[in-house]
Amino acid sequence: MKTSVIGYPRIGANRELKFASEKYFRQEISEKKLEMQARELRRLHWETQKMHGVDLIPSNDFSFYDTILDTANMLGIVPQRYQALGLNRLETYFAMARGYQGNHGDVKALAMKKWFNTNYHYMVPEIDDETEIRLTNNKVLREFLEAKGLGIMTKPVIPGAFTFLKLARFTGNRTAEEVAEAVAAVYGELVASLEENGVEWIQFDEPALVMDMTAKDISLFQKLYKQILASKKAAKCLLQTYFGDIRDCYTQVMELAFDGIGLDFVEGEKSLELVLKQGFPSGKLLFAGVVNGKNIWRNNYNKTVELVRSLQAVCPETVIGTSCSLLHVPYTLDSEEMLSGHQKRYLAFAQEKLAELEELKDILSAAHTEGNAAFQENIRLFDKPRECGNDAVREKIKALRDADFVRLPDFDERKKLQKEVFGLPLLPTTTIGSFPQTAEVRANRAGWKSGAVTDEQYHAFIQKKIAECIALQEEIGLDVLVHGEFERNDMVEYFGEKLDGFLFTQKGWVQSYGTRCVKPPIIWADVSFRGAMTVRESVYAQSLTQKPVKGMLTGPVTILNWSFPREDISLRESTLQIALAIREEVLDLERNGIRIIQIDEAALREKLPLRKTDWDSRYLDWAIPAFRLVHSGVKPETQIHTHMCYSEFNDIIKQIDAMDADVITFEASRSDLTILDALAANGFRTDVGPGVYDIHSPRVPEIAEIVSVLKRILENASPYKVWVNPDCGLKTRAEKEVKASLANMVAAALEMRGKSAHE
């Protein structure tokens, strides 16, 4: 039996790549130094996997920013505006990722989107009519040779041509079908170059195959791989799928000349049924994804052994592996000093998952399993359910009635009332909540956590930051203010720490995009409210100004989606528990004089099933009511905002309206305001603040640029419904950029306000 890992985390157990990259961005280290750090991490990751006996170790899973962006670079898909900057290769790459503003010009970054149903984000490649597709950067080969030089034979991992084309944006007249031949030719050339250098296995990642596949999609997929595989000689090619099953194209996939097919048996509900009912071609290897690459719970060996045994009946040479890349879980439990031995027994991060694969391989290779100590220990672990119930919470959930999910009076009536109460101008300006988390803010929190800074000192520091933030917003002339979220490490982790039922880690970093990481808390037990979480900061901020200050909370669906969820109760049940806890905080804020409350549902879309047919029944039917449960108890005049980022929500627009918030702000500028048509076409009722500039890039938008965005917004929506705000929170930005950008935003709003008032 062999083991295979689809991909390994790359940011470094101590986020070494993040720190090195950010130093490079600030021109504190050279490209050479950055490259040395990257090399060191790659070596460490390959050697760790080798040490754990992994047979098929991935390479090219490393990236300075994102592997889809790397693939665009491999294919020469670099839009002219970036080439025109005349920068070197790495600088051009980062200009595509982060935008560029400097001596060479001023360009925005490529769009960024959520990677399937994860909290990772990829850069959207842009293919225009001029793009000449050719092999321009063979990073895949370079990294394969680098590992080979270290004595490690790796399996290069490449985002597959089909998934790449499905994720790309075609900005001219060309279509995916029209560029397929050229793209496949490059992949063919790549395979040949790897073959010449002695590659054994090449992995093509095709997660897009688990989505709803039309006949046209299937034919594009077939066309691509017939061509790519036609020229292959010695190399073995693995088609790797994950995040679901491939029910729409199982037969066609099996017919192609792949040597191995990777299926996900964790999220792929129908994977087992497909293999057992439709069979598996002899002569191909089945790569069974049995160790969950997305969640952090220990594998249940008994269940896995039973599963693999039934697969071996159909495909004796089954390879076992992770269900997807381990990119989505933290590095190792070894660094966690605050988790108890008892808790750690139930958990497995990336490194522990390697150990699980090794143990499973042993167990599955033995004729008898009785004597295997690891197997017996694992059986004992799962024999006794973990203690994690809270009867009071369960009773509250049972007692919920339909009326608890409905806010009264209805939207129109509330709107009239709120208009009078707040007296806001046309096109009110606001921000999404966070202000720069500067080194000073982080250092203070780090000091407070380590005990070097006392509670008193820390709270005084936070108050000082809040006061500065309120003064800055007043100076800029914003209409609805925020306290700045300086007390928060992260919008989810912060609440995880303050609610009962969560565990959190010290070093459980997971890459979210580029150099940015998050430390998802672990939902360990039933969740309940412990005490006020945000009231002190909001009330203090409100005491400093006559303008309304928004209370700032994270919604239950987002807390669930950006945490590691339990697997012993349903997501719905967990979300309702969180909703009840956040509802208490909403009411507490209201009681304390906070008149506008924003409940962020940034991650609402994240766990939306990848197959459309499952959207309502499997997710939206409980996720949207869970949000309503949080705010249904407030007074009519309390204004409820929500916010979403990277929101591709054209297709769930009605359900978003049904959240029944008074205002929604969302990411729009980076995805080219495509959502506006959908809002207009669907008679969207909630007032909207489509982000007028991209906060993920350091560039400062010009007034004229924002005015033109606002004009486009107002072509589609009444000025009485529109708010003016950035795309998302400002925590990642520098103070100087924020001040300049917000001042331009307010100036643009004033200009448009004048025009709109006269129309």
Ligand X SMILES: CN1c2c(nc(N)[nH]c2=O)NC[C@@H]1CNc1ccc(C(=O)N[C@@H](CCC(=O)N[C@@H](CCC(=O)N[C@@H](CCC(=O)O)C(=O)O)C(=O)O)C(=O)O)cc1
**Binding residues for ligand X (CB under 6 A):** 18, 119, 437, 439, 442-443, 445-446, 489-492, 512-513, 516-519, 562, 602, 645, 728, 731-732
* Cβ 522 to ligand X shortest distance, Å: 13
Q: Per residue in 615-650, is it b (16+ CB within 10 Å) or e — as a string?
A: beebbbebbbbbbbbbbbebebebbbbbbbbbbebb
Task: Compose the 108-147 pattern: x for residues touching ligand HCS by CB under 6 A, - for all others.
Answer: ----------------------------------------
Catalytic-role residue among 368, 631, 696, 758? 696
* Cβ 494 to Zn ion shortest distance, Å: 15
Q: How far apart are the C-alpha atoms of 40 and 173, rounded to whole Å? A: 43
Q: How far apart are the C-alpha atoms of 114 and 605, rounded to whole Å? A: 9
Q: How far apart are the C-alpha atoms of 577 and 571, rounded to whole Å? A: 10
CA angle 346, 312, 160 (to 5 degrees): 80
Among 745, 666, 689, 699, residue whose Cα is nearest residue 100: 699
Indicate if the alpha-carbon torsion angle 585, 586, 587, 588 is positive or negative: positive
Q: How far apart are the C-alpha atoms of 295 and 537, rounded to whole Å? A: 33
What residues line the site for Zn ion (CB under 5 A)? 602, 645, 728
Question: Which is closer to ligand HCS, CB of 353 or CB of 488?
Answer: 488
* Cβ 600 to ligand HCS shortest distance, Å: 5
Residue nearest to Zn ion (CB): 645
* Cβ 640 to ligand X shortest distance, Å: 20
Residue written as tokens 């190399």?
235
Beta strands in 356-508 (DSSP E): 500-503
The response to whether 728 counts as a known ligand-binding position is yes
Instruction: Give the one entry of ligand X, ligand HCS, Zn ion, none that residue 624 binds, where binding means its C-beta sits below a cut-off of 5 to 8 angstroms depending on kind.
Output: none
The response to whether 731 counts as a known ligand-binding position is no
* Cβ 492 to Zn ion shortest distance, Å: 12
Question: Which is closer to ligand HCS, CB of 353 or CB of 731?
Answer: 731
C-alpha separations of 466 from 433, 455, 494 in Å: 12, 16, 17
Tell me whether residue 696 is one of the annotated catalytic residues.
Answer: yes
Question: Which is closer to ligand HCS, CB of 247 or CB of 488?
Answer: 488
Binding range to ligand HCS, per CB under 6 A, among 192-200, 364-372, 427-435, 497-505: 427-435
Question: Which is closer to ligand HCS, CB of 433 or CB of 609?
Answer: 433
Asked if residue 606 binds ligand HCS (CB under 6 A), the reply is no
Task: Compose the 575-604 pattern: x for residues touching ligand HCS by CB under 6 A, - for all others.
Answer: -------------------------x-x--
* Cβ 694 to ligand X shortest distance, Å: 13
* Cβ 686 to ligand HCS shortest distance, Å: 17
The response to whether 606 counts as a known ligand-binding position is yes
Instruction: Give the one entry of Zn ion, ligand X, ligand HCS, none that residue 490 binds, where binding means its C-beta sits below a cut-off of 5 to 8 angstroms depending on kind.
Output: ligand X
In the list 127, 472, 523, 645, the residue contacting ligand HCS (rule: CB under 6 A) is 645
Asked if residue 745 binds ligand HCS (CB under 6 A), the reply is no
CA angle 574, 578, 582 (to 5 degrees): 170
Q: How far apart are the C-alpha atoms of 726 and 435, rounded to whole Å? A: 12
Question: Which is closer to ligand X, CB of 418 or CB of 444?
Answer: 444
- In DSSP terms, which residues pair with 528 in a beta bridge? 500
Quick one: residue 646, left, alpha or beta (phi over 0 = left, psi -120 to 50 = alpha)? left
Contact of 330 with 510, CB cutoff 8 Å: yes
Question: Which is closer to ligand HCS, CB of 147 or CB of 602?
Answer: 602
Q: How far apart are the C-alpha atoms of 412 and 685, rounded to whole Å? A: 9
Tokens encoding 547: 């303008």
H or E segment and range at residue 471:
helix 455-476
Question: Which is closer to ligand X, CB of 19 or CB of 382?
Answer: 19
Contacts of 291 (CB under 8 A, 6+ apart): 266, 299, 304, 320, 321, 322, 323, 348, 353, 356, 357, 360
Residue 122, CB-side half-sphere exposure with 13 Å CA sphere? 21
Instruction: Give the one entry of Zn ion, ligand HCS, ligand X, none that residue 207 binds, where binding means its C-beta sits below a cut-off of 5 to 8 angstroms depending on kind.
Output: none
Among 325, 297, 283, residue whose Cα is nearest residue 388: 297
Question: Which is closer to ligand HCS, CB of 92 or CB of 119?
Answer: 119
- Cβ count near 533 (within 10 Å): 23
The response to whether 114 counts as a known ligand-binding position is yes
H or E segment and range at residue 596:
strand 596-600
Asked if residue 481 binds ligand HCS (CB under 6 A), the reply is no
* Cβ 488 to ligand X shortest distance, Å: 8
Chain centroid offset of residue 321 CA: 23
The response to whether 645 counts as a known ligand-binding position is yes
Instruction: Give the one entry of Zn ion, ligand HCS, ligand X, none that residue 433 binds, where binding means its C-beta sits below a cut-off of 5 to 8 angstroms depending on kind.
Output: ligand HCS
Residue nearest to ligand HCS (CB): 729
Amino acid in the structure at residue 138: N
Amino acid in the structure at residue 156: P
The response to whether 656 counts as a known ligand-binding position is no
Asked if residue 432 binds ligand HCS (CB under 6 A), the reply is yes
Contact of 744 with 701, CB cutoff 8 Å: yes
Instruction: Give the one entry of ligand X, ligand HCS, Zn ion, none that residue 446 binds, where binding means its C-beta sits below a cut-off of 5 to 8 angstroms depending on kind.
Output: ligand X
In the list 37, 325, 434, 505, the residue contacting ligand HCS (rule: CB under 6 A) is 434
In the three-class reduction of DSSP (H, G, I as helix; E, B as strand; rest coil), residue 102 is classed as strand
C-alpha separations of 358 from 290, 365, 386, 569 in Å: 13, 11, 25, 29
Asked if residue 630 binds ligand HCS (CB under 6 A), the reply is no
* Cβ 523 to ligand X shortest distance, Å: 14
Instruction: Give the one entry of Zn ion, ligand HCS, ligand X, none that residue 589 binds, where binding means its C-beta sits below a cut-off of 5 to 8 angstroms depending on kind.
Output: none
The response to whether 388 counts as a known ligand-binding position is no
Q: How far apart are the C-alpha atoms of 519 and 506, rounded to whole Å? A: 8
Enumerate residues 710-729 that contact ligand HCS by CB under 6 A.
728-729
Tokens encoding 15: 């986020």
The response to whether 759 counts as a known ligand-binding position is no
C-alpha separations of 723 from 285, 604, 691, 730, 749 in Å: 55, 21, 9, 17, 9
Q: What is the DSSP letter of 663?
A: E
CA angle 446, 452, 455 (to 5 degrees): 85
* Cβ 21 to ligand HCS shortest distance, Å: 21
The response to whether 483 counts as a known ligand-binding position is no
The response to whether 306 counts as a known ligand-binding position is no
Asked if residue 676 binds ligand HCS (CB under 6 A), the reply is no
Q: How far apart are the C-alpha atoms of 390 and 392, rounded to whole Å? A: 6
* Cβ 516 to ligand X shortest distance, Å: 4
The response to whether 744 counts as a known ligand-binding position is no
The response to whether 237 counts as a known ligand-binding position is no
Question: Which is closer to ligand X, CB of 194 or CB of 491?
Answer: 491
Question: Which is closer to Zn ion, CB of 479 or CB of 600?
Answer: 600
Contact of 263 with 290, CB cutoff 8 Å: no
In the three-class reduction of DSSP (H, G, I as helix; E, B as strand; rest coil), residue 550 is classed as strand
Asked if residue 74 binds ligand HCS (CB under 6 A), the reply is no
Question: Which is closer to ligand X, CB of 452 or CB of 680?
Answer: 452
Annotated binding site for 5-methyltetrahydropteroyltri-L-glutamate: 15-18, 114, 119, 516-517, 562, 606
Binding site per annotation, positions for L-methionine: 432-434, 485, 600
Give the residue numbers of the binding site for Zn(2+): 643, 645, 667, 728
Task: Enumerate the known binding-site residues for L-homocysteine.
Answer: 432-434, 485, 600
- Contact residues: ligand HCS, CB under 6 A: 432-434, 485, 491, 552, 600, 602, 643, 645, 728-729, 731
**Residues designated catalytic:** 696
List residues forming the annotated binding site. Answer: 15-18, 114, 119, 432-434, 485, 516-517, 562, 600, 606, 643, 645, 667, 728
